[in-house]
Amino acid sequence: MNVLVTGGGGFIGGHIAEAVARRGHDVTVLDNFEPYYDLGIKERNVEAARTAADESGATYDLVEGSITDEPLVDDLVADADVVYHQAAQAGVRKSVEQPQKVNEYNVDGTMNLLEAARDHDLKRVVLASSSSVYGKPEYLPYDEAHPTNPVSPYGVSKLASEQYARVYNEIYGLPTVALRYFTVYGPRMRPNMAMTNFVSRCLHGEPPVIYGDGTQTRDFTYIDDIVGVNEQLLTDDSADGEILNVGSTDNIDIRTLAEVVRDEIDPSLEIEYGDPREGDAEHTHADISKANDVLGYEPTVDIREGVSKFIAWYRDNREWYDPLVRSS
């Protein structure tokens, strides 16, 4: 198949592009290479996916451009069988600073994609949503019926985009699936995340810094589990029209996460605390029973195993990855 991955230079999009190319599918990546973090990480994502395509005999085409470029999006969608829509202005805190920009990329850009998909014969559009749509919990874990009251412009933009995808399925019959990701981590992850910062600081003999009191909780979902469910949707139509949580069964508070990272690298380090970050949710915790019922989804990597895998990968790739993390 011909597969289009928007945001395919990023962390999750890059891993999806690599996995799909390894299976022998022709991949086109659209990414605007905005320097939200050091672009050296995106260059490695591109390199990994291009290598996978070369090894499998598939093609890999990189298009530098924006999801907001309507004619470009239409041209790329016209040649695709399946679209993985991962492009977005990421970052809760960034969205607090620049809400209009987040809306332009995440909502208007998604509309460009859905309109193009409506005009062409696609097998499926798989859209990346986020646990940020839930906001303040009325109960935990969140199931898909939980009220959506996002506490950041980023969360609002993701809620709008997934609801547009649902409506395009209901009104126009466009096969769409929206996946609500819960704190994805793993090799080549973004540098400005709690886990990346904890590992980087500890490897440099610096105490991990927690913003807030550390009682905030998160589901941390290993990238392999995210990639697996996306790969399944290449050919599986059982989730068409659905919105699904894709998380882990592990819920951990940030203080414990910092301790797990610290204890594996340098138990002598103290933990420091800073002011809480505006727009961050206090708690996220996924009920994945719907994804399990519909797709048989089961996470395979628990948080302690995942932390060890990420630290080992970080050490193996420290020469190139660490400077990019430290500069971001």
Residues designated as active site: 154
Q: What angle do CA 320, 198, 202 make, to 5 degrees?
A: 75
CA distances from 218 to 68, 127, 147, 237 (A): 31, 22, 18, 30
